[in-house]
Chains A and B, each alone.
Chain A
């Protein structure tokens, strides 16, 4: 069975929390109750000291995922100065699965760039929060989704600690989730690196086995004293992510949330409560529909079925 069973996952996660709090189990032990974490999966190490903000990766993603025409050309660098709702920098959207943002950090003459896309969590909150089972964590490491099953409730959008899932409203009646799938259909499935990673002139993104990348990341830190902050963001955050980051400046200066902790978010009461009202609102209306959808998914779901339109 290469699909993660959501109920088993939840059970494993919650049991793990209780036992973990008593100091009785290791992470591996709790994983044995249904979810292995796919330790042999692939990942990408994003070394932000290499990124020069050329946006080639954004263009590559647009092409590979056949996304709509961008608002501005990919060599238009005025996007770095855009300020969006609430004073925010650019975020991933249904039209752009990855974006690069520019940061001015005190004490650094040169700007620092940060590439953003789905981090493909080991224990994804989008997946655990989705009550129609639209998400899949594949053994290769990607977190994919089945838009035929997605009901557009936006729970995963709220649940994701990295604000990644976006929605396509091209069909008013059927809004569906859109996000980076680590090029699963076209590349990762065949052991090939994502389009964005391959396109980068600076090799900002190193593709490989996640376990190798952690080793390589620590090696880079060790061999270049003073160059990096001694931390790989994503090695442990929210239970670990397939996409991980190295940086020369504190991660919080680049807009990374450094308060997430190392436990999978499913254990995080605050986030979980935030989801509850949504569930309560939507649950009755969709209750009848779930079972049908979930069943349909099981029938259809032989492979990855993220829909590209």
Chain B
């Protein structure tokens, strides 16, 4: 498994195209009030192809209520788990928007382990990592709204991934072809 988790803003290229098509004002709107249009999630790119997360589409799904996903920090916390904002309301940290701003992208490296184990604060200790946060949050919602919720529903698996799962052309020889 790849340890390193990164989230790249992949919106740049699209925005350039939008500048040509619609003029700078519209792009400005995307950047400031709606965030990047697409975000590339490639932290498990060893077993899965990078995911092109369609942020714009999900804004539509969320009916422009950013706090549905960006819990605690944007607008009114609407998730019922808003413990962060109770303490951090007036601090600069509450301005953080990107998931990776709070959720540790690499909790399994020696440095990451150190950060996690040194968290003394009551509420910080149990904060999920970036991968955990995504999958707990995304899948919970996907289950509710009948979105894809199997691994390959969102992630296209690589050949290395097939080997890891002993699937596809790496399936055990002594049994029939798998159903999935």
A69 contacts chain B at the CB level, 8 A cutoff: yes
| A75, A110, A208, A212: the one within 8 Å of B178 (CB) | A75
B33 lies within 8 A of chain A by Cβ:
no
Q: Flag if B178 contacts A76 (CB, 8 Å).
A: yes
Beta-carbon contact of A193 and B165 below 8 Å:
no
Complex Cα distance A203/B1, Å?
14
- In the bound assembly, the distance between CA atoms of A201 and B166 in angstroms comes to 18
Is A192 touching B113 in the complex (CB atoms < 8 A)? yes
CA distance A9 to B27 in the complex (A): 70
Cα distance, A212 to B125, chains bound together (Å): 8
Enumerate chain A residues within 8 angstroms of B83, measured Cβ to Cβ: 223
Q: Does A255 contact B (CB under 8 A)?
A: no
Chain B neighbourhood of A201, CB < 8 A: 131-132, 134-135, 151
Partner of B135, one of A70, A202, A216: A202
Pick the residue among B113, B150, B167, B170 that contacts A54 (CB under 8 A): B150
Asked whether A73 lies within 8 Å of B178 as measured between CB atoms, the reply is yes
Q: Does B122 contact A (CB under 8 A)?
A: yes
Cα separation A192 to B110 with both chains bound (whole Å): 8
CB <8 Å contact, A75 and B126: no
Cα–Cα distance between A199 and B135 once the two chains are bound (Å)? 12
Q: Does B117 contact A (CB under 8 A)?
A: yes
Q: Given A70-B172, A202-B136, A219–B108 Cβ distance below 8 Å? A: no
A69 B166 Cβ-Cβ under 8 A: yes
Q: Is A77 located at the chain interface by the 8 A CB criterion?
A: yes
Complex interface: chain A residues within 8 A of B131 (CB): 201, 203
Complex contact A202–B132 (CB within 8 A): yes
| A128 at interface by CB-CB < 8 Å | no
B73 CB-CB contact with A under 8 Å: no
Tell whether A36 is near chain B: CB-to-CB under 8 Å: no
A203-B136 contact given A71-B172, A191-B113, CB 8 Å threshold = yes
Binary interface encoding of chain B residues 1-23 relative to chain A, with 1 for a CB under 8 A from any of its CBs, else 0:
10100000000000000000000
Residue A88 interfacial (CB < 8 Å): no
The contact size tier of chain B is 35 or more
Q: Quick check: which of A55-63, A138-146, A277-285, A300-308 contacts chain B, the rest being far away?
A: A55-63
Knowing A50-B136, A59-B164, A203-B136 touch, does A216 contact B178 (C-beta < 8 A)? no
Asked if A76 and B164 make an inter-chain contact with CB atoms under 8 angstroms apart, the answer reads no
B180 contacts A by Cβ under 8 Å: yes
CB contacts (< 8 Å) of A199 on chain B: these are 1
Indicate if the CB atoms of A78 and B172 lie closer than 8 Å: no
CB-based contact B136/A72 at 8 Å: no
In the complex, A172 Cα to B53 Cα: how many Å?
A: 53
Q: Are B129 and A203 in contact (CB under 8 A)?
A: yes
Question: Which of A52, A110, A203 lies in contact with B132, CB distance below 8 A?
Answer: A203
Is the CB of B97 closer than 8 A to any CB of chain A? no
With a cutoff of 8 Å between Cβ atoms, the chain A residues found around residue B134 in the complex are 201
- Which residues of chain A are within 8 angstroms of B133 by Cβ–Cβ distance? 203
Interchain CB contact under 8 A, A60 and B1: yes
Nearest-CB residue, chain A, relative to B139: A52
Interchain CA distance A50-B3 in the complex, whole Å: 21
Candidate in B129, B149, B175 with the most chain A CB atoms within 10 angstroms: B175
- Is the Cβ of A73 less than 8 Å from the Cβ of B171? yes
How distant is the Cα of A198 from the Cα of B166 in the complex, in angstroms? 19
Contacts of A202 in B (CB 8 A): 132, 135-136, 139
A208 & B117 in contact (Cβ 8 Å cutoff): yes
Quote the shortest CB–CB distance from A222 to chain B (angstroms): 10
List A contacts of B166 (CB < 8 A).
Answer: 59, 62, 69-70, 73-74
- Interface residues in B109-144 by Cβ distance below 8 A to A read 110, 113, 116-117, 122, 125-126, 128-129, 131-136, 139, 143
B142-180 with Cβ < 8 A to chain A:
143, 149-152, 164-168, 170-172, 174-175, 178-180
Pick 14 A–B contacts, CB within 8 A, sort by A: A70-B166, A70-B172, A71-B174, A73-B172, A73-B178, A75-B180, A198-B1, A201-B132, A202-B135, A203-B135, A203-B136, A209-B117, A212-B117, A219-B125
9 closest A-B pairs by beta carbon, nearest first, are A203-B132, A73-B167, A201-B135, A74-B165, A216-B126, A73-B178, A76-B178, A202-B135, A73-B166
